[in-house]
């Protein structure tokens, strides 16, 4: 919600699409239905900070597809968690709906270190309809969290280089 609010303040026409597990659509239903393997999201309730009326269409991602995508990203050197695999797939789905000229941004919120004993490290079968098997990541770039000049995490502190 915070990132969405900031971005909408910069560009009022921007779309903010929340992602949720297809296997447990809490945002769509308002309650726990089913179960999923994407740690840290959709934990059987909608937090008070989430204002669905301020968000655009929900994008649903199957947890198995998210696992496969996170594994694929790790093979390319991006050690991310399952939710990041899901976020990446949701961004691609949003891109498809918004059109090829749309700029789509997602966030990889975590690395994979604390998920090494989860399904992230197990063989996951690909199923019909999964996007992860169709994706070829040609290149990627990352944004620094720390200004290289002033070495501050918070770039709003007034550094002219941030």
3-state secondary structure of 111: strand
Are 58 and 17 in contact, with CB atoms under 8 Å apart? yes
- pTM of model > 0.85: no
Whole-angstrom distance, CA of residue 8 vs CA of residue 117: 38
CATH number at 2-124: 3.40.50.1100
Among 12-16, 31-35, 43-47, the range with the most confident prediction by mean pLDDT is 12-16
Specify the higher pLDDT residue, 159 or 106: 106
Are 93 and 73 in contact, with CB atoms under 8 Å apart? no
Which H helix or E strand runs over 67? helix 63-75
CB neighbours of residue 118 within 10 Å = 14
Task: Report domain extents, the chain.
Answer: 2-124
């Amino acid at each position: 919600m915070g990132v969405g609010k900031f971005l909408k303040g910069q560009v009022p026409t921007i779309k903010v699409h929340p992602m949720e597990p297809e296997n447990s659509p809490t945002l769509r239903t308002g309650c726990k239905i089913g179960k999923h393997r994407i740690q840290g999201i959709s934990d059987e309730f909608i937090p008070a900070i989430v204002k669905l009326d301020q968000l655009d269409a929900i994008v649903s991602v199957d947890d198995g597809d998210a696992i496969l995508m996170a594994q694929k990203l790790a093979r390319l050197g991006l050690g991310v968690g399952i939710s990041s695999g899901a976020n990446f797939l949701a961004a691609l789905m949003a891109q498809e709906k918004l059109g090829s000229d749309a700029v789509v941004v997602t966030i990889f919120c975590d690395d994979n270190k604390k998920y090494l004993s989860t399904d992230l490290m197990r063989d996951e079968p690909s199923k019909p309809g999964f996007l992860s098997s169709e994706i070829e990541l040609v290149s990627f770039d990352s944004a620094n969290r720390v200004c290289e000049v002033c070495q501050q995490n918070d770039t709003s502190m007034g550094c002219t280089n941030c």
